[in-house]
């Protein structure tokens, strides 16, 4: 097995696709750019909003900037569809800026994985909605979302 292998590997079935999505969510909720970047191929290609990112070094830099700006970041991802080596997700995350303004960001991502389970492509489209602090729905301690915390569908998102 490749030392960079990231099971579950494609082709995905429903169970492995759901696990892959949860593992991605857990990684991003760690807010560790070095750790998260290792889930992507060395030559990964991304589109995130208006940024086009190529390779792990750019992913790492992007994530470091993101989490320095998006404070108290908490993310929930949900499987939308899968086939072969591709997975589509919808997600929402809550965060605030350094002035204390809260946001809920909503989006969709299309992912393609290589044979080793590393993400080779990520295409993201998302929007930010200003919210009041009392409108927040994601209230777990920073880090991994607890298994008993509701997902997007249960929260009506």
Q: For residues 122 and 28, is the Cβ–Cβ distance under 8 A?
A: no
Arch. (CATH architecture) of 14-88+109-125: Roll (3.10)
| Residue numbers in the chain where pLDDT is lower than 70 | 1-3
> In the chain, what are the domain boundaries?
14-88+109-125
CA-CA-CA-CA torsion sign (145, 148, 154, 155): negative
- Report pLDDT for 4: 84
3-class secondary structure per residue, the chain: CCCCCCCCCCCCCHHHHHHHHHHHHHHHHHCCHHHHHCCEEEEEEEEECCEEEECHHHHHHHHHHHHHHCEEEEEEEEEEEEECCEEEEEEEEEEECCCCCEEEEEEEEEEEECCCCCEEEEEEEEEEEEECHHHCCCCCCCCCCCCCCCCCCCCCC
């Amino acid at each position: 097995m490749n030392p960079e292998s990231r099971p579950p590997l494609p082709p995905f079935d429903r169970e492995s696709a759901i696990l892959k999505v949860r593992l991605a969510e857990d990684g991003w909720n760690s807010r560790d750019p070095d750790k998260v970047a290792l889930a992507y191929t060395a030559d990964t290609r991304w589109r995130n909003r208006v940024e086009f990112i190529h390779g792990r070094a750019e992913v790492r830099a992007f994530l470091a900037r993101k989490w320095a700006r998006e404070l108290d970041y908490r993310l929930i991802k949900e499987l939308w569809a899968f086939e072969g080596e591709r997975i589509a997700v919808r997600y929402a995350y809550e965060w605030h800026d350094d002035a204390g303004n809260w946001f809920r960001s909503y989006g969709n991502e299309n992912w393609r994985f290589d044979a080793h389970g590393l993400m080779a492509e990520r295409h993201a489209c998302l929007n930010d909605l200003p919210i009041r602090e009392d409108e927040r729905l994601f209230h777990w301690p920073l880090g991994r979302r607890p298994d008993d915390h509701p997902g997007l569908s249960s929260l009506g998102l």
